[in-house]
Amino acid sequence: MNKDRNFWIRLVFLVLLVGMIAGLYLANFQFVQQNPGGNDFLARWSGARYWVMEGVSPYDPQVSLASQRAIYGRPADASKGEDIAHFVYPLHSMLFFAPFGLFEYPVARALWMTLLEICLVLLGVVSLRLADWRVSPWRMAILLMFSLLWYHGARTVIIGQFAGLNALLITLALFLIQKKQDFAAGVLLALSTAKPQMAYLMLPFVFLWAISVRRRDIIGGMLVAGGLLLAATLVLLPGWPLQWLGQLMDYPNYTSRIGSVLSTVANTMPGLSGRLSPFLHAVAYIYLLVEWVLAWGKDERWFMWTALLTIVVTNLAAYRTATTNFVMMLPVLFVIFRTWEARWKRAGKLAVWLSLIILSVGLWGLFLATVQGNEEAAAMYIPLPFLCLFGLWWVRWWYIHPPRVLVDEIIERFR
């Protein structure tokens, strides 16, 4: 009897879930019809479309030209900062983009938006688990809505940025390391190289820490998955790395308006920026390296704090970042919030609520106050990375050295 009841409960839940996803897709499709755009996804869709349907390399100039014509109705003018719309992702990113190349753009964009929305909600769920933050159902609902609707999340969905999916891959990999599902974590980290600027610091840190604590399955997952991805893509499109590098060489020519967050800070002092920017980057990387050394051979909590710091420094120092990449700092926020609550109880909860309100309303308000046409102002790059950096410093001791229960203290005294 109980088995039959459980079956019907699961069936009803599955039907409701499918219905919700279908409704979400229809809402997204209506949005797409009324609001043409999603240019970030369009360039990736064009690469997938040409490769899947016509066998043309996604790095071929005609693919970029097709994207430019779709965006501007003509070839782009890079000298004016217009997007050349290269595919500019490594070929194994086609694992995620290729299925969408089977559909016409409006349908593909609506499906992609739906996928990103699901990923951002799952990112919120995994971030809560990673932080070991147990909240009531209604608070969880608010936090998951925040993960989807705050400025960085909503922008990710609207322009169709892959960052939402890649942030989930990285966060899920860290969660699996926490749960000692090491090989699967290594595979996810290898997949996260589909957007290298989000993973270029995380991979070497995890690799080195895994060596220091002899978690060989993490390394195995990274190497096996990375090797298979490289071998398979070279078979499918020999020579693609050189084609990809050729597009990367063009990248600064049309994306140099805003560089890294640290260079944006340096640019507030134009007379010093030429020297200040390299200095700030050097300080950031040297400091991060020191923290990596301190984490060598340490336990998972120390590893996790350093991994979260690595996420923050990635977004501070990456040569060309984007505010959509900032969704990967959601687990950083949740760890900070959880530590506040554990440490200061009611005062900590109040601080969390105030922070959520400031991040929800404040970031959107800053955007509306500074937006120039349809371009973000440099000011949008500043608040979140530094809030996360200071927050991590603030909670470092309590997170790495959580209070032990009385039994642990007694056992230690009698050893």
pLDDT per position as a tens digit, 2-55: 666 676 777 777 888 888 898 899 999 999 999 888 888 999 999 999 999 999
> pTM for this structure?
0.92
Is 106 part of any domain?
yes
Q: DSSP letter for 238, please.
A: T
Within this chain, do residues 62 and 1 fall inside the same structural domain, yes or no?
Answer: no
| 269 against 209, higher pLDDT | 209
**Are 192 and 198 spatial neighbours (Cβ–Cβ below 8 Å)?**
yes
Buried b (16+ CB within 10 A) or exposed e, 104-141: ebeebbbbbbbbbbbbbbbbbbbbbbbbebebeeeeee
**pLDDT score, position 411:** 43
Is 14 part of any domain?
yes
Number of Cβ within 10 Å of residue 33's Cβ equals 10
65 Rama class: left (phi>0) / alpha (psi -120 to 50) / beta: alpha
Is 79 part of any domain?
no
63 pLDDT higher than 60: yes
Is 80 part of any domain?
no
Is 119 part of any domain?
yes
**pLDDT score, position 409:** 40
Handedness of CA 232, 238, 244, 247 (dihedral sign): negative
Within this chain, do residues 115 and 17 fall inside the same structural domain, yes or no?
Answer: no
Domain of 18 in residue numbering reads as 1-28
**pLDDT score, position 412:** 44
The count of structural domains within the chain is 2
Separation of alpha carbons 34 and 70, rounded Å = 16
Is 111 part of any domain?
yes
117 pLDDT higher than 60: yes
Highest mean pLDDT (candidates 21-25, 66-70, 297-301): 297-301
Got the DSSP string for 275-335? HHHHHHHHHHHHHHHHHHHHHTT--HHHHHHHHHHHHHHHHHH-SS--GGGGGGGHHHHHH
Q: Name the band, by pLDDT with cuts 50, 70 and 90, for residue 248.
A: confident
Within this chain, do residues 284 and 342 fall inside the same structural domain, yes or no?
Answer: yes
Within this chain, do residues 89 and 23 fall inside the same structural domain, yes or no?
Answer: no
Within this chain, do residues 14 and 130 fall inside the same structural domain, yes or no?
Answer: no
Phi, psi of 75 (to 5 degrees): -65, 145
Number of Cβ within 10 Å of residue 9's Cβ equals 10
Within this chain, do residues 217 and 94 fall inside the same structural domain, yes or no?
Answer: yes
Is 234 part of any domain?
yes
